[in-house]
Amino acid sequence: MKNIALRTEHLCKTYEVGKQSVEALKDVSVCIEEGSFVALTGTSGSGKSTLMHLLGGLDVPTSGRVYIHNMCLSDCRERQLARARRDEIGFVFQNFSLLDELSVKENIVLPVLLASGMVDENYILELMEQLGIADRAGHTPAQLSGGQQQRVAIARALVNDPSIILCDEPTGNLDQRTSAEVMELLHEIHTAYHKTVLVVTHDLTVARGADYILRIEDGKITG
């Protein structure tokens, strides 16, 4: 039996919007096996991004628990939580979240520098070559296509060698052909580096090829 990389128990999230309470997640319990490639699908507003943010420790649940491996995030102090996000999880977002004033390589190594770590030049070069951006190392994001910017974002997510990669609509700003290329790269990364990958998407074409698909609607896992 495989180990569990991510697990939730009776997870609920309620937001206060004006005088109304909005239940974004309702009693969600899921297990994601180590080394699996999972797609989380659902319509806009279904709760999929909220679930990803809770899994990644970017938000806190109203009730319920989130575990990374066997560590409960609710039991972590802020410093422990920050360390878990840095060491265990890499994030890839729809809008790339690159800094315009930095070069490709500088964007990639930024998480290492912020953590006062040592940059492994050989690993950085390996990542850039694997993702087809080694010849763009000195370029700025403005000089790249959308697909190239997302490749930089994927490299940055991998720079601390996390065990888990969480991707929130990673193809949302890309055309169909580039989306297919990015998803192919994510599958290559999953295989080459033995990562647990969770891709949040509303696009069933993007979800195809995952080991399994979780579907969420109205804050509940439906299949």
The mean pLDDT value of the chain amounts to: 92
Distance CA 200, CA 13 (A): 18
User: Which CATH number describes the domain made up of 4-221?
Assistant: 3.40.50.300
Q: pLDDT, tens digit, for every residue of 115-126?
A: 888 889 999 999
Nearest C-alpha neighbor of 5 from the set 154, 166, 138, 145 = 166
Ordered by start, the domain boundaries in the chain are: 4-221
Q: pLDDT, tens digit, for every residue of 9-58?
A: 999 999 988 888 889 999 999 999 999 999 999 998 899 999 999 999 99
81: which residues sit within 8 A by CB, 6+ positions away?
Answer: 57, 73
What does pTM read for this prediction?
Answer: 0.92
72: which residues sit within 8 A by CB, 6+ positions away?
Answer: 65, 66
Q: Which residues face 14 on adjacent strands?
A: 23
